Amino acid sequence: MKPALIDPYGRQVTNVRISLTPSCNLNCIYCHAEGEEQPKDQMSTDEIRTIIDAVCRFPIRSIKFTGGEPTLRDDLVEIIRSVPSHVESSMTTNGTLLADIADDLKGAGLSRVNISLDTLRHDRYKEITGKDLLSDVLAGIDASLDAGLTPVKLNMVLLKGINEDELAAFFDYVRGNRNLILQIIELMEFNECYSHADVNGLEQKIASQATEIVTRRMHHRKKYCIDGAEVEVVRPLHNTDFCGHCNRLRITSDGKLKPCLLRNDNVVDIRGKSGTELDDMILHAVSLRQPFYE
Is 7 contained in some domain?
A: no
* pLDDT tens track for 277-293: 999 999 999 999 999 98
**Residue range 182-212, pLDDT digits in tens:** 999 999 876 677 788 999 899 999 999 999 9
Torsion sign across C-alpha atoms 174, 175, 176, 178 = positive
Q: What is the pLDDT of residues 222-235, one digit of tens each?
A: 899 999 999 999 98
pLDDT score, position 38: 66
How many angstroms separate the CA atoms of 124 and 158, rounded? 13
Number of domains in the chain: 1
CA distance 104 to 90: 14
Taking the CA atoms of 244, 248, 249 and 250 in sequence, report the sign of the dihedral they define: negative
Beta bridge partners of 5: 13
pTM: 0.94
Segments forming the whole domain that contains residue 79: 12-287
Residue 156 has pLDDT above 70, yes or no: yes
CATH number (domain holding residue 65): 3.20.20.70
- Run of H or E including 18: strand 15-19
Q: Closest by alpha carbon to 133, among 69, 223, 211, 38?
A: 69
Structural domain contains residue 1:
no
pLDDT of residue 149 exceeding 70: yes
76 within a domain of the structure (yes/no)? yes
The answer to the question of residue 281 being in a domain is: yes
Residue 294 counted as domain residue: no
Cβ contacts of 86 within 8 Å, gap of 6 or more: none
Q: Is residue 2 part of a domain?
A: no
Task: Considering only residues 77 and 191, tell me which one the structure prediction assigns the higher pLDDT.
Answer: 77
pLDDT of 100: 98
215 belongs to a structural domain: yes
What would the mean pLDDT of 129-156 be, rounded to a whole number?
A: 98
Is residue 94 within 8 A of residue 125, CB to CB? The reply is no
User: Residue 4 domain-assigned?
Assistant: no
Query: Percent of the chain having pLDDT more than 70?
Result: 97
Share of the chain above pLDDT 90, in %: 84
pLDDT surpassing 70 at residue 69:
yes
